[in-house]
Structure 1
Amino acid sequence: MLYHRAEGPASAPPLLLGPSLGTSTTLWDAVAPELSISHRVVRWDLPGHGRSPDDLIGPGATVADLAALVLALADSLGIERFAYAGVSLGGAVGLHLAVHHPERVTSLAVICSSAHFGGSKPWEERAALVRREGLGPVAATADQRWFTPGFTVPALVEDHRTTDPDAYAACCDAIAAFDIREDLPSITVPTLLIAGREDPATPPAHLREIADAVPGSSLVEIAGASHLAPAQCPEAVLTALRAQLTGGAKRGMEVRRQVLGDAHVDRAQARQSPFTARFQDFISRYAWGEIWTDPTLARRERSMITMTALVAHGHYDELAMHVRAALRNGLTPEEIGAVLLQTAVYCGVPAANSAFAVAQRVLAEETGDAPAGA
């Protein structure tokens, strides 16, 4: 059986994390503890890597063989269906599972990986080198293949040096034979692709190729990240995975459009730039995907609270937007006027006066009538 490390509540939704070639569960040290707050996280080691036995695969191994070992691990833990995220070879295993065992996978994140790895010859040559000379020559170049200049994770480099050469070579055989491009359009599970912009092993173009072929998939490119993005840029990877696992960004965008209207959201999206992209994602995922979707309060009530808070802080441009939202959420002009009258008591008459002026203009545009309290 593959060595594994489980974290998080046993009753939480399961999430399996796959490693890249030459690494171990250590690859996820900066990410897994945070994910285990909401998920039953299971990290696993490739054969001959970390603490997994080295005789689980042999020469001529395939990604299908590795995927079978992952399914056997899940079965042994009583996990029928699971979310999956994997880096490089671990990502290839995830793609195989999504194509050939979609009934087992609830969502997929493919990180710094590919639907093919540049043809078989380089991997056949690497396998032959490792079988002949061991891992020393390959491990010596790990930093430049895995990280940007000046960055390293010594524990991962040590993983590379201490991996079993025969098992490593067998994994190279699996990569050499892997090409799932023709099957990508058949993937139906929610799929996220994460690329490191500085990744020389699987450049962003490889992830774009998958994103273009998998229906409904999404792509995130992480600036400053090389091949082992979870180790080098853990916060960025966490942000993307949380959005994928909770569906917050997608659900939040739906609610945002329902409340604010397509025209407003389309304008905001059109103005989005690389500088503002993370902020827009934060708004959709957190404000709209978590707060506005909380069923404790109805949207009518949330509109009343929001308008009051905006008046209190003098955010009148935002108030205009949320007066329109209040109408969509079922408030009448009279009820909006009553909310603003309440703000005169607790936020001050000058603030309420400005708020009434804003609301009167908006309501005249939207309904042709002014609020009763104006």
Structure 2
Amino acid sequence: MTNLLNHLSEGPASAPPLLLGPSLGTSYALWDAVAPELSAAHRVIRWDLPGHGGSPADLIGPGATVADLAELVLALADSLGVERFAYAGVSLGGAVGLHLAVHRPERVSSLAVVCSSAHFDGAKPWQERATRVREEGLARLAESADARWFTPGFTVPRLVRDHRDADPEAYAACCDALAAFDLRDRAGEISAPTLLIAGREDPATPPAHLRELADAVPGATLTEIPGASHLAPAERPEAVLTALRAHFDGDAGRGMAVRREVLGDAHVDRAQARQTPFTARFQDFISRYAWGEIWTDETLSRRERSMVTLTALVAHGHYEELAMHVRAARRNGLTADEIGAVLLQTAVYCGVPAANSAFATAQRVLAEEADGPAAG
């Protein structure tokens, strides 16, 4: 049997690594609505706790600690050739990140702690839960998962099923780890850039726990997400994704958001699907500089930038990209008449043959748009 945590890797192997940790009772499916998007700019590695998802149950035993789990995460990273990594974790997964940031700071480049804490309200509740699970199994406890994890009326059946199917002994050992965890006296030692994300409706680790961490960790940023309970990445993935991108990606994260706004999700999704390790750095370059610095510069409006871009593409004969940016120009508010006026201007300064080809391309795109849904 393998002695490594089960994991899923997504994104280019050459991209900066980002490890994602789960909460107690869930699998790496907790990140299903967030990880694929993060993998546009990162080598995302999400892992399962022992006895959860596909990880062997015997990786930990009674009396386990968060330090034991952290060592398993480092062993996984070592096996994948990952020396230094960004890290985000939920609840118990967040505690693992805090431990790593304190005890192995050379491995953690940046940290996000989601719906977690430097302590979990003392040992007794977790010791009682561990005893109950060892005696009864997880079926009855899983019945209350929705109330512990989500706001009323919301659920993710896959995660509830993962809870029910987890190995009771490994789950209980994870409860032992939570019972013993208290990093309040060491949080001030964390040097990695740290983002703290709280679910405003979270009963397990309320926002006060994250505010306590924010006060302790030097330079930490705190984000509270309304309408989110304990498993915020599953319940409010868009808000979590926005916060994580801003924290981990910088200009590339902002650039990817602008790129989607201008070019549309369908185009960007196709580009990301075609990405390979060979093209990953170029895609990151585009997101970081073209979209993250130039298109976000407020000196020119997006309408004006579309006009400049159309002209440049005509001048160089890049008609495939011209078609893409005609659609972008419509999304940025240019009318068909305004696009025609820009192309007519190019006839004077770029030449009639170039403008002739440009008009043909633009006419095809505008006709396709007229036959489809109205431009937003």
What TM-score comes out, normalization by structure 1 length?
0.69
| Alpha-carbon distance in 1 for matches of 2:115, 2:26 | 14
Q: 1:76 aligns with which of 72, 75, 79?
A: 79
Q: Check whether the contact 2:41–2:252 (CA below 8 A) recurs between aligned residues.
A: no
| Alpha-carbon distance in 2 for matches of 1:31, 1:212 | 27
| Alpha-carbon distance in 2 for matches of 1:161, 1:205 | 29
Matched, 1:199 2:202: yes
Letter in 1 for 2:164: R
Aligned CA distance change for structure 1 residues 190 and 140 (closer, same or farther; 3 Å):
same
Match of 1:17 in 2: 20
Match of 2:66 in 1: 63
Letter in 2 for 1:16: L
| Alpha-carbon distance in 1 for matches of 2:242, 2:146 | 25
Q: Secondary structure at the match of 1:294?
A: helix
| Alpha-carbon distance in 2 for matches of 1:307, 1:156 | 41
Match of 1:35 in 2: 38
Match of 1:86 in 2: 89
Please identify runs of 4+ aligned residues in structure 1 that moved more than 6 A. 249-252, 289-293
Q: Check whether the contact 2:245–2:254 (CA below 8 A) recurs between aligned residues.
A: no
| Alpha-carbon distance in 2 for matches of 1:247, 1:30 | 21
Aligned CA distance change for structure 1 residues 63 and 156 (closer, same or farther; 3 Å):
same
Match of 1:97 in 2: 100
Aligned CA distance change for structure 1 residues 75 and 136 (closer, same or farther; 3 Å):
same
Match of 2:55 in 1: 52
| Alpha-carbon distance in 2 for matches of 1:161, 1:307 | 50
Q: Which runs of 5+ in 1 are unaligned?
A: 253-288, 313-345, 348-374
CA drift at 1:295: 7.4
| Alpha-carbon distance in 1 for matches of 2:131, 2:94 | 24
Q: Secondary structure at the match of 2:185?
A: helix
Aligned CA distance change for structure 1 residues 52 and 251 (closer, same or farther; 3 Å):
closer
CA drift at 1:247: 2.9
Matched, 1:130 2:133: yes
CA drift at 1:45: 0.2
Q: Check whether the contact 2:6–2:48 (CA below 8 A) recurs between aligned residues.
A: yes
CA drift at 1:203: 0.3
Match of 2:144 in 1: 141
Alignment of 1:115-194 (within 5 A): 115-194=118-197
CA drift at 1:202: 0.4
Q: Check whether the contact 2:65–2:177 (CA below 8 A) recurs between aligned residues.
A: yes
Matched, 1:213 2:233: no
Spell out, residue by residue over 1:189-243, the C-alpha distance to the aligned partner (whole angstroms, 9 max, x if none): 0000000000000000000000110011100000000000000000000000000
| Alpha-carbon distance in 1 for matches of 2:170, 2:107 | 26
Aligned CA distance change for structure 1 residues 307 and 208 (closer, same or farther; 3 Å):
closer
Letter in 2 for 1:87: V
Spell out, residue by residue over 1:300-343, the C-alpha distance to the aligned partner (whole angstroms, 9 max, x if none): xx84x469959x9xxxxxxxxxxxxxxxxxxxxxxxxxxxxxxx
Q: Secondary structure at the match of 1:55?
A: helix
C-alpha root-mean-square deviation of aligned residues, in Å?
A: 2.6
Letter in 2 for 1:228: L
| Alpha-carbon distance in 1 for matches of 2:169, 2:235 | 28
Q: Check whether the contact 2:6–2:47 (CA below 8 A) recurs between aligned residues.
A: yes
Q: Which runs of 5+ in 2 are unaligned?
A: 256-287, 308-340, 343-376
CA drift at 1:140: 1.1
Q: Secondary structure at the match of 1:73?
A: helix
Q: Check whether the contact 2:223–2:243 (CA below 8 A) recurs between aligned residues.
A: yes
Letter in 1 for 2:168: P
Aligned CA distance change for structure 1 residues 151 and 58 (closer, same or farther; 3 Å):
same
| Alpha-carbon distance in 2 for matches of 1:12, 1:307 | 29
**Structure whose CA Rg is larger:** 1
CA drift at 1:63: 0.1
Q: Check whether the contact 2:87–2:110 (CA below 8 A) recurs between aligned residues.
A: yes
| Alpha-carbon distance in 2 for matches of 1:72, 1:91 | 18
| Alpha-carbon distance in 1 for matches of 2:251, 2:67 | 32
Q: Secondary structure at the match of 1:124?
A: helix
| Alpha-carbon distance in 1 for matches of 2:163, 2:115 | 18
Aligned CA distance change for structure 1 residues 249 and 221 (closer, same or farther; 3 Å):
farther
Q: Secondary structure at the match of 2:44?
A: strand
| Alpha-carbon distance in 1 for matches of 2:202, 2:304 | 45
Q: 2:247 aligns with which of 244, 252, 258?
A: 244
| Alpha-carbon distance in 2 for matches of 1:209, 1:93 | 17
Letter in 2 for 1:62: T
Same amino acid, percent of matched pairs:
73
| Alpha-carbon distance in 2 for matches of 1:85, 1:183 | 19
Letter in 1 for 2:68: D
Q: Secondary structure at the match of 1:103?
A: coil
Alignment of 1:233-272 (within 5 A): 233-248=236-251
CA drift at 1:246: 1.6
Aligned CA distance change for structure 1 residues 23 and 292 (closer, same or farther; 3 Å):
closer
Q: 2:6 aligns with which of 3, 15, 18?
A: 3
What TM-score comes out, normalization by structure 2 length?
0.68
CA drift at 1:138: 1.2
| Alpha-carbon distance in 1 for matches of 2:117, 2:289 | 32
